[in-house]
Amino acid sequence: MTAPLTPPHPPHRPSASGTPGDDPWQAPPSDQDSGPHEAAVLRDDIRDAVIVLFAVAVLGVGLGLLWLALAPNVPLISDGKAVFLRDSEGEEAVGADGTFALLGLAFGAVSAVGVFVFRRRGGIALVVALAIGGLLGALVAWGVGTWFGPTEDVVAHAKAVGAGVVFDAPLELNAKGALLAWPVAAMMVHLLLTALFGPRDPEPLPLPD
């Protein structure tokens, strides 16, 4: 006689509550199950990107005021007939462009750090929003500096102050490439922070021997 064969264990069924438990026969989750989760993540990405874009752009007001305060003045003088540079060899105009570029680099680094702290996970949408917001912020700063600076009507200003009186030229940004200092610095610093301190992907588990 042979011993009766032991019947195989029946597959583990889900509990009455509907939880799958450790059912080895359970079908893997379908792609439809992850659809709502991915949609929620996408909504969060878009929302955070919009917040970052507007918040960074508003910072342009601060950059414009700092540019107005720190940029060197370009002194002009009139003889009653024409307006001249008081110092024909002065580099104040170049200094205004350099001041704007340096402030743009600083604001780019600060905004990148702020965005990284706000959301460490990052993402393409966040980086694009940071870059566009930085460019908009630079444009806002340019407008604020020129708007609140000395009047652009140099002839009327010269007549108002009189001949032989030194007055300041309007604040101008001659090197338009300085507008890119903010977005470029923001992207570079944010990508560097993400590479150094961002979340790491889980390492794959080793296969059993």
For the chain, which residues make up each domain, given as ranges? 40-197
pLDDT at 15: 47
Average pLDDT over the chain reads 79
For the whole model, what pTM was predicted? 0.73
Structure tokens at 186: 């923001």
Residues 126 and 119: beta-carbon distance below 8 Å: yes
Tokens coding 42: 């996408």
pLDDT band at 145 (very low <50, low <70, confident <90, very high): very high
Q: Which of 157, 191, 18, 174 minimizes the C-alpha distance to 76?
A: 157
Q: Which of 45-49, 89-93, 100-104 has the lowest mean pLDDT?
A: 89-93
Distance of CA 93 to the CA centre of its chain: 28
Mean pLDDT in residue range 3-26 = 50
With a cut of 60, say whether residue 31 has pLDDT above it: no
Does residue 101 have a pLDDT over 70?
A: yes
CA atoms 99, 166, 76, 161: torsion sign: positive
The answer, yes or no, to whether residue 75 has pLDDT greater than 60, is yes
The pLDDT of residue 119: 82
Q: How far apart are CA 112 and CA 90, in angstroms?
A: 35
CA distance 56 to 118: 12
Which pLDDT value is given to residue 21? Answer: 47
Q: What is the CA radius of gyration of the chain?
A: 31
The pLDDT value given to residue 4: 52
Q: Is the model's pLDDT at 60 over the cut of 90?
A: yes
pLDDT for res 106: 97
* Residue, of 207 and 16, whose pLDDT is higher: 207
Nearest-angstrom CA–CA distance, 162 and 166: 9
Give mean pLDDT, residues 169-186. Answer: 93
Q: How many other C-beta atoms lie within 10 A of the C-beta of residue 142?
A: 21
- Res 91 pLDDT > 50: yes
